[in-house]
Chains A and B, each alone.
Chain A
Amino acid sequence: AQKVTQAQTEISVVEKEDVTLDCVYETRDTTYYLFWYKQPPSGELVFLIRRNSFDEQNEISGRYSWNFQKSTSSFNFTITASQVVDSAVYFCALSVGGGGADGLTFGKGTHLIIQP
C-alpha cells in the first residue's frame, strides 16, 4: 500500500519569507509518480507539478522549486519570496505506475498562511 505524509499541518509566515513544505512517501513500487496540488480558498484543486520516480532532477518554476530525493523518499516544495496569493492548502500525492488508472494517494495537506 502507498502512503504520503505531510507532517506540517499548518505553516504561517510573513510575506516575502521563503517556506518549505515537506512530503515523505512510502511505496514498494519502483515506478511511481509524485505530484503537488494547490487548493486555494476558492476550493478548486490546481495541478502544480509531476515527477516520475526515474527523474530526480530538481525543478524550478518561477518562485516555486521542488526537491526530489529517493534516498530519503521525500519530495519537498519550496516557495521563495512568498506572497499572500500563495495562501492555500497544498497537497502532495503519489500514484504507482502500471496502467494509468490508479488513483492518487494524497497526504493530509499543509495549510499555508502568508501574512501581509
Chain B
Amino acid sequence: DTAVSQTPKYLVTQMGNDKSIKCEQNLGHDTMYWYKQDSKKFLKIMFSYNNKELIINETVPNRFSPKSPDKAHLNLHINSLELGDSAVYFCASSQWGGEDTDTQYFGPGTRLTVL
C-alpha cells in the first residue's frame, strides 16, 4: 500500500495556465507538507497543515494555494504558472507524538515543467 501518493507524477503545461497537484496519505498522520525541489536539488518547505489548519506558509507567491479538505489530503493549486515554477514538488506527512514523532514521509514527487 502506498503511504503518501501524489498525482500526477509528471505535469507539462504552458505559461499562464492553472494547475493542481493532489496528495493523499493513508498513514493516519495529522500533519502534511509541500516542498519544492529546484533544479539544483535544493529542498525547501512551502506549506504545512496540521489537522487541516495552515501552520507554515513560507515566502511563496500568492499564486500558490494549498487546500486541505481533510486530514488525509493536501492539494496544491498553482495559478498563472511561470517558467520559474518548473521544479519537483513533494508532498509529505508526519505525526506528532510517539516513537516516530516528526518523521516526515514523502510522496514520489510531481515533476512540473512549464513551457
Interface residues in chain A, defined as those with a beta carbon under 8 Å from any beta carbon in chain B: 33, 35, 37, 39, 43-45, 47, 50, 89, 91, 93, 95, 97, 99-106, 108-109
Tell me, in angstroms, the Cα distance from A102 to B94 when the chains sit together: 10
Does A102 contact B56, Cβ atoms closer than 8 Å?
yes
Residues of A within 8 A of B41 (CB): 39, 89, 108-109
Pick the contact of B50 from A89, A99, A106 — CB < 8 Å?
A99
Q: Which residue of A lies closest to B43 (CB)?
A: A106
Does B102 contact A95, Cβ atoms closer than 8 Å?
yes
Residues of B within 8 A of A89 (CB): 41
Does B95 contact A100, Cβ atoms closer than 8 Å?
yes
Interface residues in chain B, defined as those with a beta carbon under 8 Å from any beta carbon in chain A: 30-31, 33, 35, 40-45, 48-50, 55-56, 58, 88, 90, 92, 94-97, 100-106, 108-109, 111
Pick the contact of B108 from A43, A47, A95, A102 — CB < 8 Å?
A43
A33-B102, A99-B55, A101-B49 known, 9 other contacts, Cβ within 8 Å:
A33-B103, A39-B41, A43-B88, A43-B109, A95-B104, A100-B97, A100-B101, A102-B102, A108-B41
Q: Which residue of A lies closest to B30 (CB)?
A: A100
Residues of A within 8 A of B43 (CB): 91, 93, 104, 106, 109
Residues of A within 8 A of B48 (CB): 101-103
Q: Which residue of A lies closest to B100 (CB)?
A: A50
Pick the contact of A100 from B31, B45, B88, B111 — CB < 8 Å?
B31
